[in-house]
Chains A and B, each alone.
Chain A
Amino acid sequence: MFKRKPADSPRTETEDLRFEVASQLQLTWWKFRKHKLAMFSAVIVILLYLTAAFGEFIAPYGGITTNSKFVHAPPQTLHLFSEDGFGLHVYGYTMERDPRTLERIWTVDSSAKIPVGLFVRGEPYKMWGLIPGDLHLIGPKNPGDPFFLLGTDRIGRDVFSRIVHSARISLTVGLVGIALTFILGILIGGISGLVGGRLDDAIQRLIEILISIPTLPFWLALAAMVPITWSSLQTYFMISIILTLLSWMGLARVVRSKFLALRNEDFVLAAKLDGCSNWRLITSHMLPSFMSHIIASVTLSIPGMIIGETALSFLGLGLRPPIVSWGVMLQDAQRISAIANYPWLLTPAAAIFITVLSMNFLGDGLRDAADPYQS
């Protein structure tokens, strides 16, 4: 009869077992690690969100603290060394009066030295509105001294502090939108891909119509309809929803095409022949296959939302004071005279630029790493 042959000997014990037992998550991580730019961007993004979380601690001043004395003060550069040796410090201001307008004009005076410290006591705050404290990451050693790393605006508010506080709003408005996009995208894309037929066609045509709508005018129109009397929190959520309405389509299409492709895979058929219900097929067998793609896709749509919110607020139709966001800050930079005379008012744009760029690189890295089985 038939002889029993010894089994294939699978890899020897001396081999590296890590690869073999690595789950999909670990393989994705290893592949992501190789993408240096994405790793670097991931660090930046983490720092940005930490800033958003601990804004009160990181910023020297509050987001709406005014200082009527130091209006339109230029930025003070941080120095490490002086004639007296090592020590953080900035230079103080001298004031002149403009002869025609009688406005105060501040310039940095290199003779006046203001010592700066880390973890100093300063303006009191309530972290997240709950925990009181007055410790700041960086600030003047004498609480009364002016410390404006990026200058001040037209009512004496510290631009640097406001940028830090804005991070919380600008970076999270995107997140609420993302959560909504995620749910809508998977639901609609999933139904479209799985049910197929006429329903799929109808949904696809709807998506095509929606994609053709120019986003900015649409957002403006909806934002203009938000009542002024609404509280800042309500406005915040409403803006998030508005931003989501036109951004779930991309994800829905990705989800649909993945479902369509997976439907015909042998392992899905094998699971069906095992007796899996449709629900189990979707959740246990198909979704895990492309969850990483979804995450990558979603990460890549966050920048769009951040820019959307910025655009709306810049035009005065998004968030309004007392909420501070980068878009709101950029409203002050709308006049040529402002930019020409006080260019530091544009620094929020740099913050947006860095955020969007690092999110894009991160999303790219995630998308490339998402399928660890592709070379």
Chain B
Amino acid sequence: MTTTDTQISSPNKMAAPDNLLEVNGLKKHFPIVKGVFSAAQGNVKAVDDVSFHIRKGETVGLVGESGCGKTTVGRCIVRAYPVTDGTMRYRMRDDSVIDLAAVPEKELSPFRRDIRMIFQDPYSSLNPRMTIFEAVSEVLRVNNLCSPSEMQDRVSSLLRRVGLRPEYMQRYPHAFSGGERQRIVVARALITNPRLVVCDEAVSALDVSIRAQILNLLEELQADFDLTYLFISHDLSVIRHICDRVVVMYVGKVVEVADALDLYSRPRHPYTEALLSAVPLADPRGREQRKHIHLQGEIADPANPPQGCYFHPRCKFAQQICREQTPELRVLDKKRQVACHFAEAIQLNGVIS
């Protein structure tokens, strides 16, 4: 993608003044390489035309099952790799707007401080050969963000804030439990005072009782540090608890965007309805009446998705148009977007009355 100065930083290029991040038409394709000489044969369309926005201070949930591309979206936003197509407009502290997708690799440093990631697995996201002090302060060291004497204090106070004892700074990760390690990962993400934090399945690998601790911690920190979260997860109970708005993805595309309560009370896309009905509720009363919607067939293959609407082979409302035309993500009412040809016509059930 060629860039010009005007494209990279031009004010007022965002749809709304309180948006922190606007993702438009995001695409990320991974080539499939086969053969003795690594010839590319087709693409896995992990992310295939994704658009959504995040307002400053809110928590947006990105939910979907395996192969939906939610993790890839998160990694695109932090520029773990270059994107194939699309824009990711980000509002800087001075209110100017920059397209993260267009920034060259060498100039990413300032954004690496502002946008940070919390990883899923506390056992593989910390280098076992580094002390937690070294791990947490690495970003400060690499970018010369503060002097060595300040580093100690900064790490110390942040560790205390996330609930760990600063005296344990010189210990190695193997000395800590899963929950403690995840706190270290949170500290590492926040050490640069970021504005946007991408939480990639941040609590999925933790025990049930620890999950609550970390979720509470994330909520407190959001209030204290004025953070904005993109919360990626497959766990719909956690998403309901922590998110203000939810983006539902299926095989690389967005199928529905809505406020959390609206989505869970009244989904407008058949996939969302099936997804919600499948979530096990922690109450045995009335379970005979709660029927899970069983989708026939398997989740579509992102390397070879169906024609038209990706969901049509499994959808009980599918018509001819669904087999031919891929539905656009369109605005249904003030805060709702759906990608379905028949969104207005169908009546779907939610899980909150």
Footprint of B on A, CB under 8 Å?
A: 1-2, 4-5, 7-8, 10-11, 19-24, 27, 197-198, 201, 265-267, 269-276, 280, 285, 288-289, 373
Interchain nearest-CB distance for B240 vs A (Å): 17
Q: Is B46 in the interface zone, CB < 8 Å from A? A: no
Q: For the complex formed, measure the closest distance between the CB of A373 and the CB atoms of chain B, giving whole angstroms.
A: 6
Q: Which residues of B contact A21 (CB under 8 A)?
A: 170-172, 175
Q: A23-B172, A271-B138 are in contact. Are A7 and B163 (CB under 8 A)?
A: yes
Contact between chains at A267 and B177 (CB < 8 Å): no
Per-residue CB contact flags for chain B residues 262-300 toward chain A (1 = under 8 Å, else 0) read: 000000000000000000000000000000000000000
Task: Closest B residue to A26 by CB, please name it.
Answer: B172
Q: Which of B78, B135, B216 contacts A273 (CB 8 A)?
A: B78
Say which residue of A5, A198, A274, A280 sits within 8 Å of B38 (CB atoms).
Answer: A198
Q: Report whether over half of chain A's contact residues are helix, strand or loop; otherwise say mixed.
A: helix
Residues of A within 8 A of B142 (CB): 274-276, 280
Judge whether A267 and B175 touch: CB under 8 Å: no
Q: In the complex the two chains form, is B124's CB within 8 Å of A267's CB?
A: yes
Task: Kindly supply a per-residue 1/0 record for chain B positions 146-166, scoring 1 wherever the CB is within 8 Å of any chain A CB and 0 otherwise.
Answer: 000000000000000001110
Q: Shortest Cβ distance from A17 into chain B, in angstroms?
A: 9
Contact between B171 and A288, CB atoms less than 8 A apart: no
A2 and B213 in contact (CB under 8 A), knowing A7-B163, A270-B117?
no
CB proximity to A under 8 Å, residues B187-234: 188, 213, 216, 219-220, 223
Instruction: With A21-B172, A23-B172 as known contacts, state yes or no: A274 contacts B112, CB within 8 Å.
Output: yes
Q: Is the CB of A275 within 8 A of B179?
A: no
Tell me the bound Cα distance from A123 to B112 in angstroms: 71
What residues of chain B lie closer than 8 Å to A10, measured between beta carbons?
164-165, 168, 176-177, 180
7 extra A-B contacts, CB within 8 A, seeds A2-B223, A275-B139? A7-B163, A201-B37, A269-B80, A270-B119, A271-B138, A274-B139, A275-B142
- Is B175 within 8 A of A5, CB to CB? no
Cβ of B127 within 8 Å of any chain A Cβ, yes or no, is yes
Q: Is B129 an interface residue (CB 8 A)?
A: yes
Tell me if B121 counts as interface (CB < 8 A to partner A): yes
Contacts of A20 in B (CB 8 A): 168, 171-172, 175
Taking the closest CB of chain B, its distance from the CB of A159, in whole angstroms, is 48
List residues of chain B with CB within 8 A of the CB of A373.
Answer: 128, 174
Task: Report the minimum CB–CB distance from A18 to chain B (whole Å).
Answer: 10
Which residues of chain A have C-beta atoms less than 8 A from B165's C-beta? 7, 10
Q: Which residues of B contact A7 (CB under 8 A)?
A: 163-165
Determine if B28 is an interface residue (Cβ-Cβ < 8 Å).
no
Can you list the 10 inter-chain pairs with the closest CB atoms, starting with the nearest? A7-B163, A20-B175, A266-B125, A274-B139, A267-B127, A288-B129, A266-B119, A20-B171, A275-B142, A266-B124
Closest Cβ of chain B: how far from A329's Cβ, in Å?
45
Cα separation A289 to B119 with both chains bound (whole Å)? 20
Asked if B70 is at the interface of the complex by the 8 Å CB criterion, the answer is no
Q: What are the residues of chain A within 8 A of B135 when measuring CB–CB?
A: 267
Tell me the bound Cα distance from A278 to B213 in angstroms: 36
B109 an interface residue at 8 Å Cβ cutoff? yes
In the assembled complex, how far is the CB of residue B112 from the closest CB belonging to chain A, in whole angstroms? 5
CA distance A21 to B142 in the complex (A): 24
Report the bound CA distance from A24 to B127 in whole Å. 11
Q: Could you tell me the distance in whole angstroms from the C-beta of A107 to the nearest C-beta in chain B?
A: 63
Chain A CB count within 10 A is highest, among B120, B126, B127, B179, for B127
- Distance in angstroms from A19 CB to nearest chain B CB is 7
Contacting residues, chain B, for A2 (C-beta < 8 A): 216, 219-220, 223
Are A8 and B213 in contact, CB atoms less than 8 angstroms apart? yes
* Contact A273/B117 with A7-B163, A21-B170, A267-B126 known, Cβ cut-off 8 Å: yes
Is the Cβ of B143 less than 8 Å from the Cβ of A267?
no
- Chain A residues contacting B183 (CB-CB under 8 Å) are 8
B116 CB-CB contact with A under 8 Å: yes
CA–CA, A144 and B163, complex, Å: 79
Query: B220: which A residues are within 8 A, CB to CB?
Result: 2, 4
A110 to B324, CA, bound (A): 106
Indicate if the CB atoms of B163 and A289 lie closer than 8 Å. no
The smallest C-beta distance from A361 to any residue of chain B, in angstroms, reads: 26
0/1 interface trace, chain B 27-66, chain A, CB 8 Å (1 if under): 0000000001110000000000000000000000000000
Determine whether the beta carbon of B216 is less than 8 Å from that of A5.
Answer: yes
B112 touching A8, Cβ below 8 Å: no
Chain B residues with CB below 8 A from A1, complex form:
223
CB pair B80–A272 under 8 Å, yes or no, is yes
A79 to B344, CA, bound (A): 105
| Known interface pairs A10-B180, A280-B142; A267-B112 also in contact (CB < 8 Å) | no
Closest residue of chain B to A274 (Cβ to Cβ) is: B139
Min C-beta distance of A305 to chain B, whole Å: 30
17 contacts between A and B (CB under 8 A): A2-B220, A5-B216, A8-B163, A19-B175, A20-B171, A21-B170, A21-B175, A24-B172, A197-B38, A201-B36, A201-B38, A267-B135, A270-B117, A271-B138, A272-B80, A274-B112, A289-B129
B172 touches A275 (CB 8 A): no
A24 to B183, CA, bound (A): 22
Bound Cα distance from A187 to B236, whole angstroms: 47
Cβ < 8 Å to A, chain B residues 292-319: none
* Distance, CA A267 to CA B173, complexed state (A): 12
Tell me, rounded to whole Å, the shortest Cβ–Cβ distance linking A249 to chain B.
20
Quote the shortest CB–CB distance from A338 to chain B (angstroms): 53
A275 touches B143 (CB 8 A): yes
Contact call A275/B112, Cβ cutoff below 8 A: yes
A66 and B125 alpha carbons, distance in the complex (Å): 66
| In the bound complex, CA of A262 to CA of B64 (Å) | 27
A281 → B minimal CB distance (Å): 10
Q: How far is the CA of A274 from the CA of B36 in the complex (A)?
A: 35
Q: Which residue of A lies closest to B128 (CB)?
A: A373
- Most interface-central of A21, A270, A272, A288 (chain B CB within 10 A): A270
Complex: chain B residue closest to A1, CB-CB = B223
| Bound CA–CA A280/B109 (angstroms) | 15
Whose C-beta in chain A lies nearest to the C-beta of B124?
A: A266
User: CA A149 – CA B108 in complex, angstroms?
Assistant: 72
Q: A27 to chain B: which residues have CB within 8 Å?
A: 174
